Each structure stands twice: as C-alpha cells, then as structure tokens.
Amino acid sequence: MSHTPSPGRYADMKYVRCGNSGLRLPLVSLGLWHNFGKVDPFWRATNIILKAFDSGITHFDLANNYGPPPGSAETNLGRIIKSELYAHRDELIISTKAGYLMWPGPYGDRGSRKYLIASLDQSLMRMGLDYVDIFYSHRFDPDTPLEETMDALASSVKSGKALYAGISNYPPEETEMAAGILSDLGCPCLIHQEKFSLLRPAANKGLGRVLTKNGIGCIAFSPLAQGILTDRYLNGIPEDSRAAKEHGFLKKEEISEEVLNKVRALSEIASGWGMDISDLALNWVRSHDFITSVLIGVSTPEQLDANLRIIKLDPFTAGQMEKINSVMRSTNN
Ligand code: NDP
C-alpha cells in the first residue's frame, strides 16, 4: 500500500521563491548523493524520503552518477516514488544532473549535447519518470562551447523532459555568460547549485552577486561540509560515518586538527545561543540573501529531524554573522 502522507506536511516548512521564477523551493532540500545507493539499506532510504516528504521537503536532488554504483540512487528514488508517492508526483521537485563521468567512451562525460541529452533520457528511465523538474549541467566544461551545453539544457526543457534548467559548480564569470545564453534561448537559468558552508565560504564573494543580478536562485550543497560541521567527528571517526566508508567522498585527511579547532570554536558560540553546531552551520548558510535552499544530506531520520530545526530559527542578525565570521577568521591563523 502506498504511503499516506501527513496532512500537516506543509504547516511548518518555509518555501522560498527561486530567483525571478515562480517556483518556490523548501528552505531545506534533501540530496541523495550518499546513503541512497544500492550499497545502502533500501528500507532506511525509504524511511528518510517519506519522513522528509511528511516534513514539507518537496525537493529531492540527484545526479546521474549518485550511488554507488552510479545511477542506483535514481533507481532507488524511482522505486520509492512508484510504490509510495506516485499520487503525489505534482508535489515533488526532482532534479538531476549530468557533467561527470557516467559511461565509458567520449560521450559519457563533460558538457556535450550528445552526453547531456542521452544522460537525461537514462535518468528518466532509471527513475521511471516522464520528466524531471530541474536538469543541471553539473560542471562547466571548458572543452565544449558554452552555447552547446546551454542549448542542450534549453532543448531538454523545450522537449518537456525537464521543466527548468540549472547549472552547478560554474564560476561567477561563466555563470554570467551561461545566464545570458539561456535567456537568449528563452529558457532562463532557474538555479545555481554551489558548495557553500562555513568551511567553504567562497560563493559569498563573486557568485552571490552574479546570481542576484541575474535573478537566479542558489541552492547550497554540503552545507555541513559533509558532516564536519556537526559534533560527528569531535571525538574521532565513528565507524558508521561517511569518513569511515570506503565509498564515502569525505576523506579522513580533511578532518584535521586545524579544522576541528574551528568546529570547537563554533560549538562554543552555538552552545551560548542554545544551539548545536549543525544548527549554527545551516542557519549561517541560509542567512545569506542570495540563498534559496539549503541542500542537506542525512544518513538517519534523526539527523533529518535535527536539521529541520532551522525552519524554526530566524536568519542570523548582522551582529551574529559577524561574531561567527570573526571566529572563522581568527582560527585561520
Ligand atoms: P551535508 O554537508 O549536509 O553532509 C551530510 C552528512 O553530514 C550526512 O551524511 C551525515 O554524515 C552528516 N550529518 C548530517 N546531518 C547531521 C546531524 N544533524 N548531525 C550529525 N551529522 C550529520 O551534505 P552532503 O555533502 O551530503 O551534500 C548534500 C547534497 O548536495 C548531496 O546529496 C547532493 O544532492 C548535493 N551535492 C551536489 C554536488 C554538486 O556537484 N552539485 C556535490 C556534492 C553534493 P554521516 O553519513 O557520516 O552520518
């Protein structure tokens, strides 16, 4: 029997207009990069997705290569939608991407029209969907004319296989150019997906300005720096953590004493404000004007509950932001 969603699922979540579009995204979105592949327990993936949906998370983010093995996160989400949420497809925003290596040979990687269009067809097949809501170019490809990559996005939208076009990991200058091309093609760039956290604050510099100027939304990925900006690693590397997993993208070397000192300093501020480090890290990201949604990952329903606490928080004041930023600056020395 398919899932009966909570009738109160839209009561608490905040929905934020994505750039100049009419699409509103939940303040917290859920990504399926880790924990939803064939290697992960399917029952747990199902529980997390359904709990997220019941909490007002309408947006689930994928890419062709999420797994492992690559593609299996899309297959799993497709199974969950088919068995549990099919009647609610119109309440869901499903995104996918193409840009990194997916299949052998010269047409399974980067930014060509050949790759993007074939990849989107494969993604739709794996998920059992007629269309995705957002189709992204996953990265800028200097070896493909930007016009070709953007035309592939625009024709995906015009063919009805995607409703909106997005870009991810594009530097500010290329973002501005991509936005111009898409706009000329009659398919405005909806959204930019960028790595943005207290440990990776670069988007704050040029990208945020470009996005605001061009009316493009911004969804911040890895806002917890893959789990470093939580209490997960303060006492070593837990066996069930991303850093301990062979297929995890978080490398143990990234959790240096220097980084942990920053986390400890943030933890002190957070506890003074009655928060956890993760609350502080997520709320710091959402407190930037150019941010539409904070794109989290979780390995348990409990982590999801914890991360949803930011919905109840107000954005930080300028004074609070300065306090956090000054701690980050001072621990850089
Ligand atoms: P996060 O920074 O939110 O890291 C998620 C990990 O942090 C979890 O798997 C868990 O680690 C840990 N965690 C989460 N919440 C808590 C908590 N409350 N307490 C303790 N630990 C917690 O995001 P991700 O790195 O997972 O990225 C999110 C999404 O962004 C991806 O799924 C994907 O959709 C997108 N993304 C896009 C990229 C792109 O190039 N466009 C690249 C990377 C990600 P553990 O598993 O150890 O429990």
pLDDT at 333 over 70: no
Give the count of domains, the chain.
Answer: 1
Is residue 69 reached through a cis peptide bond, with omega within 30 degrees of 0 on the bond before it?
yes
Q: Is residue 2 in a domain? A: no
Instruction: Give the tokens for residue 29.
Output: 């979105």
pLDDT of res. 73: 98
Ligand 1 pocket member 95 (CB < 6 A): no
Q: What is the pLDDT of residues 142-154, one digit of tens each?
A: 999 999 999 999 9
The DSSP output letter for 315 is: P
pLDDT of res. 202: 82
CA–CA gap between residue 250 and residue 58 (Å, rounded): 27
Q: Is residue 5 in a domain? A: no
pLDDT of res. 203: 73
pLDDT at 296 over 70: yes
- Domain hosting 39: range is 15-330
Please enumerate in sequence order all residues whose Cβ is within 8 A of that of 114, keeping only pairs 6 or more positions apart, or say none: 107
CA–CA gap between residue 235 and residue 255 (Å, rounded): 11
The mean per-residue pLDDT over the stretch 21-26 comes to 98
Q: Is residue 7 in a domain? A: no
Ligand 1 pocket test: pick from 49, 138, 139, 232 the residue with the most ligand atoms within 8 Å of its Cβ.
Answer: 232
Backbone angles phi, psi at 288, to 5 degrees: -90, 135
pLDDT of res. 113: 98
Ligand 1 pocket member 306 (CB < 6 A): yes
pLDDT, the chain, mean? 97
The mean per-residue pLDDT over the stretch 186-202 comes to 96
Q: What is the pLDDT of residues 311-327, one digit of tens each?
A: 999 999 999 999 999 99
Q: What residues pair up with 97 in beta bridges, in sequence order?
A: 136
What pTM does this model have?
A: 0.98
* Ligand 1 atom 42 nearest Cα: 221
pLDDT of res. 119: 98
The number of the ligand 1 atom at minimal distance from the alpha carbon of 100 is 40
Q: Is residue 256 in a domain? A: yes
pLDDT at 258 over 70: yes
Q: Is residue 108 in a domain? A: yes
Ligand 1 pocket test: pick from 57, 251, 283, 295 the residue with the most ligand atoms within 8 Å of its Cβ.
Answer: 295
Neighbour count for residue 136 (Cβ, 10 Å): 29
pLDDT at 217 over 60: yes
Ligand 1 pocket member 192 (CB < 6 A): no
For residue 221, what is the domain's CATH number? 3.20.20.100
pLDDT at 114 over 60: yes
Q: Is residue 217 in a domain? A: yes
* Ligand 1 atom 29 nearest Cα: 31
Q: Is residue 298 in a domain? A: yes
pLDDT at 330 over 90: no
Ligand 1 pocket member 181 (CB < 6 A): no
Q: Is residue 27 in a domain? A: yes
